[in-house]
Structure 1
Amino acid sequence: MCRFKWCNFEQLEQAAPKSFYTCLEVSKYTQTQTQTLLMDKTWIKLPRVTSEYQSGCEQFIEFAFRNKSRDNMILCPCNFCVNTCWLDRTAIRDHIICNGFTKEYTNWVFHGENISIPQNMSSSNVQNEPSEGDHIDSMLHDAFGMHPIGTESEFGVNDYDEIPDEEVRKFYRLCEDGDKELYPGCKKFTKLSFLLRLMQLKCMGGISNKVFEQLLELIKTALPDLDTLPNSFYEADKIVKDLGLGYKEIHACPNDCMLYRKEFANDTTCHVCGASRYKVIKRKKSVGRCKLKLGKKIPAKVLRYFPLKSRLQRLFMSSKTAANMRWHKDGRTKDGLLRHPADSLAWKDFDLNHPQFSSDSRNVKLGLASDGFNPYGMMVPYSIWPVVLIPYNLPPWLCMKSSNFILSMIIPGKTSPGNNIDVYLQPLIDELNELWTDGVRTYDASKGEMFQLHAALLWTISDFPGYASLSGYMTKGKHGCPDCAGNTHSEYLKYNHKTVYRGHRRFLERTHRFRQDARTFDGTQEFREAPKLLTGSDVLEQVRHLNVTFGKLQPDLCERGKKRDLLSNWTKKSIFFELPYWETNLLRHNLDPMHIEGHFAESLVYTFLGMAKSKDNTKSRLDLVAMGVGKELQAVDKEGKTYLPPACFTLSPEEKVLLCEFLGSVKFPDGYASNISSRVRVKEKKILSLKTHDWHILLQYLLPLVIRKITPTIVSRPIIEISNFFRELCSKVLRVSDLKDLEKRVALTLCQLERIFPPSFFDIMIHLPIHLATEAKIAGPVHFRWMYPPERFQMILKSYVRNMTRPEGSIAKGYLIEETLTFCSRYLTGVDTKLNRLRRNDDGNELQQHECIFPQAGRPLGGVTSVNLDYTSYAQAHRHVLFNCGSLDYYIE
């Protein structure tokens, strides 16, 4: 964090540029006296329901609007706004009554009293005035953390540490650009504000660097006096990047064995595999006396790490976001329903185990999401793994937005890191440990005070293969379910050559009739109990003997697990256990409902249509013969040919056509889903590859409608039940009692599916829904823990790739620009940004100032038509006017 410390005020005044005076203007005016109205302020500390408190509120409002009103608004002094928001008279009264008056605010300097700042008030509160111009001064002070604390006499001796000279020069440079007129006489824009707007347009519109330079050239040609703008994107980027936070480049072994940091920072070869740190460049031999000049050594692999501390600090240093970082404590509705991770059992248990951490609501709880993507599409095999952090302190409508995601690192490589991801996570784990034990000194712009910021990691989010990489649990084979672990019920199919996971009767009640039913299941009765989730202590006990050496050249971890013949699939002790609190977390790694739901829908539809990915084929029927179950569906040899008896879920050609015609005729509101009909081939009775969200819509809303008509009840009923299960699970508001009911229902539904479909249908992704309701009961709503937002963020990162030979560098540079402009856009007015842009289809309706009992939603299309109402419709309209028009209340009474 950047902070100043000078010997005296006069020295600071001489050294600072003109624009820096804004930061000190409150302190400088301590000698200026204004007319003081002596008022009794003891009512501030009284209960809000008393008449004295309400009378005092009215006196304050009259005094403030008489002395400091601007556009009929004043700064709100309630506990939530803390003099940062300008509101009208009615809103001020509501806020003071509902939220309470800031008790420390006894000298009303922002509302017309003597200009002297109390200890806990910040100058940034004064700067956020409603105006037509951009708030560049506020932005610079928030970006560099230069906020005065205390009065003038205390400013020179406050707790600000000295900052590097380079940071001071950056601040002064930006201040000068923020004061410099765009052209002589321009009052609307400064050089910095106009440049930020241009860069914002570039990022919002996806303008290339070349087109941006052509735009600069066009503007300077049309306006010859405009000589303040840079000549190229490179020069513009140099100005704007001073507002950014930067990243570190850490060299890595090309075989993922180690990072060249700490004691290995100066090594030139890997101490594990002996590989060179730098690329070996083959050069032609020199001719005669000519010698080739050796350039800078090129590292073989580079990890780009974005420090976390400075990014968390900026969330609190910015007056635009600081208050929202306490929403989980101050703004959350606490009625027992699950709307946010803060309502969950995992969050509350963490607070109970670590009371010192939870004592300050500003301490940040994070989620970690990671997955790989290919910047080249399908052309070249490549896999970049970004690691993203999600701050859960923010409100639900903000924390899952890509603009609030924190990119932690970019892991390079032509292949995924797999278990070696722990090597690359070392810098992040070290910083998380520092944030847990020591914290970092941070300025809170909403309260105007310094505090020690701490942070903790709650859980990870990934798809199922990523689950194996992050947790160290091999999600394949006999014990492939990480929640069932060593108690996983699995079977190996002789002809399909894969492991399937059935045995869901264990999750039913002990007295359920299905437990005794051997004939319609696998020929056995079920008396076992449902497996219990492993605690952190259980996991540590199972992995304590593992000593893994990372690197691609090491023996495959899966093969080593097979040789040991372990009862569990643990292949390593995850690096997350280096966090002192990780062992006590109730849920450490999340199953991803997005991919599970998509795979479930894909298996159902492809099996119904008998496509190539169908789970019902000749091999599946031969497995029934080998297992000695499902005699009515077993393959039969007739005249040298294998005959497959039709199953209850087998569709006739006419029914397949009906299913495809229905899916091909569906239309959705714009933005609700993609055009599924374009992926349907009715004549071929096929559905081409759909996106995961398409399967989400198809399973929850479309499939139940058509499946009732083309399949018998024994098939349609469990399909409709599984659809209802996912739809209720994905609700934004959950009840613990409903989740307990979902646990029972999904177990019964999977048992019913076992009676219908062959064993080959039940791969690991069909089994995992049995655990989703349990995880939601522990960690809260699934839309805070699924992969939809992180994968959308990956698409944004992918769009930053401009140099195809250096994709990771392009992504890092593009993200820094985007991160900087997202921060700056909070201080720009009248410009379209990611934070305030209109919806895709905006009808431009403004709030109606007059009473209207027929509010218009949307805008009319086409011409005006006249309609003659029948008697019934006329009577209904007349009755609606009588009961809903407030102007008629006097006559009705």
Structure 2
Amino acid sequence: MANAMKSDLPDAIRNIMQTNHRNDTPGINESRSMKMDRTWIRATQFSDEFTSLKDVHDHVYLHGWSATYTWWVHHGEDFDVDIVEFGEDENVPTYLGDVVNVEEPDNEDGHDSVEMIADLYTAVQQDGEQPMFVKVLEDAKHALCPDSYDKAKKYLKELGLGYELIDVCDNNCVLFRKGLEKHDMCPKYKESRWVDGDAAKWIPKKILRYFPLIPRLKRMFANKATSEETQWHKDKRVAVENEMTHPADGLAWKDFDAVFPSFARDARNLRLGLATDGFNPFGNMNTTYSMWPVLVKVYNLPPWSCTATSNYIMALLIPGPKSPGKDFDVFLQPLIEELLKLWEGVSTYDAFTGGKFDLRAAVLWCIHDYPALGVLSGRITKGYYACIYCNKDPLSRSLRKKICYIGHRRYLDKTHKWRRSLAFDGHRENRGEPGKLSMHETSECLEKLKDVTPGKADGTKKRKRGQKDKEPKLFSRRSTLWDLPYWKYLKLPHNLDVMHIEKNICDALLGIILCLEKNTDTVNARLDLQDMGIHPDLHLEEDEDNSVSMPAAWYSMEKEERVAFCVFLKSIRFPYGYASNLTRCIS
């Protein structure tokens, strides 16, 4: 078979060269409509640069011809030519020196290159061997390149890189999945899921975009280098006492390994982190829209890899226009289901060891700002019990226009002199440090909220300003994260993004010392000082014409000092992305 193919090669190559030459000759267009016979083609590689007939001849002898190059657009063939393929009873020639049986895809039945890629990728996962997937992609880079956005999405979906569209009730009470796919009405509020109401155009009111997590995590182990990096935290990390160079040096990681030694035994088991926050995708065009992405980070990788943006995994894209608020758990349902499977173990091929293993993964913590803490965890982050460390014994105090948190001297030593001082809030501090909630107390709080359901509230009464609840209310709902069997054992389930905290504190301090128009040193703040009986030098003063004036504070700068301060800030050179333009902040 191979010898027969070799004997056909010179004539075929000569025909190609002559055809390409005629196409380049002005006035000769016969090749545009000629009938080209390609029944002899069967090869593995193709190079689209040739200098002579001898070079082409030698190249085809050595490497063969690309099986995916069936339309000779690089050799002068137009798109409207007749193609002569193998007949039904014809013997198909094989690769040089090989004997294989390959059937041509039947495009009329809908089988195209998209399904071919899916089959090849499935072979990688199931067989655990190095297939010809990479070679096929290299050979067919011209034929497989998508020519439209829709086709590109089909490729991504077949490769496991796509996403699922899940319709959501407009009241955020249910996802139309798991038996509700064909329902047109919300089962709770009996409202239509469609924009037009009668499902004439099948346009849903709200869509959740879900990116499956398990295929992406399994793909990390299909590459030898990445698979080896997932074990860096245990095999190559050098721990230094009193230094934290990797999340594995933290107490939260070590405590989790101590509680679940079977999970820690295999270094390939992944430690994950969830990050979320709301953002406006329309910039300044629409300031009321809020969309919430949920990102997953893998902390097994080295520090330079786990912090790279290319290793962030998009899990959910929660639609707006409003923040999901207490209904956030509805959107987390598909992600939680996958996390439960990952905790039990998912069969995965490891390219580094050449075998299969049960991949497990666990979420060690979440990263967000303080408002998103209440959205994700269900904790109360507003009002008298907003502090998650004070719990049932808060440091909050009601002032004229706001609730103030000013009991921080409780964390000082019992004999500290500041505890006896009246300069802070007009009182001496004799209370001890607030205690933490035990696991039993937390379970009791969550048990009282088991009947709280997502969706719009029915007849909820708002609490009046200044009115405290009869008993402490620390949670607004039971978060779906508690469904994870390991969640109650986590030492640090929630991390606050310090960027927002640092920015807000910095803005407040700069506003006060630079006497900016927007600052917290207001008339109401001076009245609060007067009510507490502290800092009499800052109290409001009544003038002769019965007007009131604010005396200048000792910490505010004069004009010359403000200019010198701004000149100093301008002279500092920060790394790119670490500081904003000063001229945009100060007028």
Q: TM-score range by the shorter chain?
A: 0.7 to 0.9
User: Is residue 2:165 matched to residue 1:249?
Assistant: yes
CA distance in 2, matches of 1:627, 1:263: 60
CA distance in 2, matches of 1:149, 1:524: 71
- Tell me what 2:139 maps to: 179
Aligned letter for 1:365? R
Of the three residues 436, 453, 457, the one matched with 1:549 is 453
Cα distance 1:490–1:635, how it changes in 2: closer, same or farther (>3 A)? Answer: same
Deviations 1:454-502 (A, max 9, x none): 11111111111111101111211112111222222112221xx111111
- Tell me what 2:370 maps to: 464
CA distance in 1, matches of 2:165, 2:147: 29
Of the three residues 215, 220, 232, the one matched with 1:315 is 220
User: Per-residue deviation at 1:236?
Assistant: 5.8
User: Is residue 2:450 matched to residue 1:490?
Assistant: no
Alignment of 1:120-135 (within 5 A): none
User: Is residue 2:283 matched to residue 1:377?
Assistant: yes
- Tell me what 2:232 maps to: 327
- Tell me what 1:534 maps to: 437
Aligned letter for 1:191? H
The DSSP-based 3-state class of the residue aligned with 2:224 is coil
The DSSP-based 3-state class of the residue aligned with 1:303 is strand
Of the three residues 646, 649, 655, the one matched with 2:552 is 646
User: Is residue 2:183 matched to residue 1:267?
Assistant: yes
Aligned letter for 2:234? K
User: Is residue 2:411 matched to residue 1:507?
Assistant: yes
CA distance in 2, matches of 1:231, 1:429: 36
Cα distance 1:652–1:673, how it changes in 2: closer, same or farther (>3 A)? Answer: same
Aligned letter for 1:545? K
Contact 2:390 2:435 (8 Å CA) reproduced: yes
Deviations 1:834-873 (A, max 9, x none): xxxxxxxxxxxxxxxxxxxxxxxxxxxxxxxxxxxxxxxx
User: Per-residue deviation at 1:444?
Assistant: 0.6
User: Is residue 2:422 matched to residue 1:443?
Assistant: no
User: Is residue 2:576 matched to residue 1:660?
Assistant: no
Contact 1:142 1:319 (8 Å CA) reproduced: no
**Does 235-244 or 380-389 show the bigger shift?**
235-244
Alignment of 1:232-311 (within 5 A): 232=148, 238=154, 242-280=158-196, 296-311=201-216
User: Is residue 2:497 matched to residue 1:592?
Assistant: yes
- Tell me what 1:191 maps to: 142
Number of matched pairs: 470
Contact 1:557 1:571 (8 Å CA) reproduced: no
Of the three residues 338, 341, 356, the one matched with 2:247 is 341
Aligned letter for 1:262? K
Aligned letter for 2:434? P
CA distance in 2, matches of 1:669, 1:645: 36
Alignment of 1:554-565 (within 5 A): 554=458, 559=463, 565=470
Contact 2:170 2:205 (8 Å CA) reproduced: yes
User: Per-residue deviation at 1:233?
Assistant: 5.5
Q: Which structure: greater helix fraction? A: 1
CA distance in 1, matches of 2:362, 2:510: 42
* TM-score normalised to structure 2 length: 0.73
| Unmatched 5+ stretches in structure 1 | 1-16, 21-138, 156-170, 181-189, 196-228, 283-293, 681-686, 689-893
- Tell me what 1:9 maps to: none
Aligned letter for 2:335? L
CA distance in 2, matches of 1:391, 1:584: 20
User: Is residue 2:318 matched to residue 1:428?
Assistant: no
Contact 2:396 2:406 (8 Å CA) reproduced: yes
Cα distance 1:446–1:463, how it changes in 2: closer, same or farther (>3 A)? Answer: same
Cα distance 1:667–1:524, how it changes in 2: closer, same or farther (>3 A)? Answer: closer
- Tell me what 1:798 maps to: none
CA distance in 1, matches of 2:278, 2:334: 19
CA distance in 2, matches of 1:441, 1:357: 15
Aligned letter for 1:145? V
Deviations 1:599-625 (A, max 9, x none): 111110001122233121212111222
Cα distance 1:149–1:390, how it changes in 2: closer, same or farther (>3 A)? Answer: closer
User: Per-residue deviation at 1:513?
Assistant: 1.1
CA distance in 1, matches of 2:225, 2:170: 42
Cα distance 1:489–1:511, how it changes in 2: closer, same or farther (>3 A)? Answer: same
CA distance in 1, matches of 2:330, 2:154: 33
* TM-score normalised to structure 1 length: 0.49
Aligned letter for 1:367? G
Contact 1:467 1:589 (8 Å CA) reproduced: yes
Alignment of 1:631-642 (within 5 A): 631-639=536-544, 640-642=546-548
Deviations 1:722-760 (A, max 9, x none): xxxxxxxxxxxxxxxxxxxxxxxxxxxxxxxxxxxxxxx
Cα distance 1:671–1:143, how it changes in 2: closer, same or farther (>3 A)? Answer: farther
User: Per-residue deviation at 1:543?
Assistant: 2.2
- Tell me what 1:120 maps to: none
CA distance in 1, matches of 2:123, 2:474: 49
Contact 1:141 1:147 (8 Å CA) reproduced: no
User: Per-residue deviation at 1:376?
Assistant: 0.8
User: Per-residue deviation at 1:316?
Assistant: 0.8
CA distance in 2, matches of 1:460, 1:556: 30
Deviations 1:504-524 (A, max 9, x none): 211112221111112x22222
Cα distance 1:582–1:567, how it changes in 2: closer, same or farther (>3 A)? Answer: same
- Tell me what 1:122 maps to: none
CA distance in 2, matches of 1:266, 1:560: 43
Of the three residues 141, 145, 148, the one matched with 2:124 is 145
User: Per-residue deviation at 1:407?
Assistant: 0.6
Deviations 1:314-334 (A, max 9, x none): 011122311111111111112
Deviations 1:567-609 (A, max 9, x none): 1331111111111110111111112211111111111000112
User: Per-residue deviation at 1:541?
Assistant: 2.2
CA distance in 2, matches of 1:564, 1:408: 37
Cα distance 1:144–1:657, how it changes in 2: closer, same or farther (>3 A)? Answer: farther
- Tell me what 2:311 maps to: 404
Deviations 1:48-73 (A, max 9, x none): xxxxxxxxxxxxxxxxxxxxxxxxxx
Of the three residues 364, 368, 375, the one matched with 2:270 is 364
Cα distance 1:656–1:601, how it changes in 2: closer, same or farther (>3 A)? Answer: same
Aligned letter for 1:679? R
Cα distance 1:454–1:179, how it changes in 2: closer, same or farther (>3 A)? Answer: same
The DSSP-based 3-state class of the residue aligned with 1:145 is helix
Contact 2:160 2:215 (8 Å CA) reproduced: no
Cα distance 1:469–1:359, how it changes in 2: closer, same or farther (>3 A)? Answer: same
Of the three residues 380, 388, 394, the one matched with 2:301 is 394
Aligned letter for 1:319? K
Cα distance 1:483–1:635, how it changes in 2: closer, same or farther (>3 A)? Answer: same
Deviations 1:228-268 (A, max 9, x none): x6655655665566434222111110111111122434332
Contact 1:19 1:178 (8 Å CA) reproduced: no
Contact 2:160 2:216 (8 Å CA) reproduced: no
Cα distance 1:231–1:274, how it changes in 2: closer, same or farther (>3 A)? Answer: closer
Aligned letter for 2:484? L
User: Is residue 2:510 matched to residue 1:605?
Assistant: yes
CA distance in 2, matches of 1:544, 1:237: 44
Alignment of 1:845-860 (within 5 A): none
Cα distance 1:661–1:511, how it changes in 2: closer, same or farther (>3 A)? Answer: same
CA distance in 1, matches of 2:123, 2:457: 46
The DSSP-based 3-state class of the residue aligned with 1:389 is strand
